[in-house]
Amino acid sequence: MAESIQERRVWQIVGGRFVPDSVGPDEYDRIVATVRADPAGHISAFERLFLTGRPNARNIVQLNLPNFLALMAPVAPREVTRLAKRLQELMGSLVQMGEAELEEGIDAERADELARRRSRIDMHNFNLAQLTRGS
């Protein structure tokens, strides 16, 4: 199935380089306005990409998924809160899996990888908590 334009925009936003200095301030503002003009389409694309079926743990940890939700919060606060809570649950599961792996005993390289993953999850959870505060 071909990727939709909404999915391509979501990928651009969560890829880690979606800031005015990277894409240019005018292009940044244009993309944000376009995405916010179609919140349902872009939120649906986000769910299809990252929260449907068996979510890809690497994408959840490595991509900046909270960035997309933060951009959508002004136009779709309830949906953003719902999705942020789902992401927090997924990240909690990833932390538990990593802790179980550490308890089993693993090599130093894998332990370092799990520590980096835990650090990114903690950062994402902090940003997600900002989006779910008061709900």
Instruction: In whole angstroms, give the CA distance from residue 35 to residue 61.
Output: 23
* Number of structural domains found in the chain: 1
Instruction: In whole angstroms, give the CA distance from residue 79 to residue 38.
Output: 13
Report if pTM > 0.85.
no
* Those residues with Cβ within 8 angstroms of residue 117's Cβ, 6 or more apart along the chain or in another chain: 61, 94, 98
Contact between residue 131 and residue 66 where contact means Cβ atoms under 8 Å apart: yes
DSSP letter, residue 134: T
**Cα torsion at 124, 130, 133, 135 (round to 10°)?**
-70
Tell me which residue range forms the domain holding 44.
Answer: 5-132
The mean pLDDT of 38-45, rounded to a whole number, is: 97
- pLDDT tens digits, residue range 82-132? 999 998 888 777 766 655 555 566 677 776 777 777 777 777 777 788 888
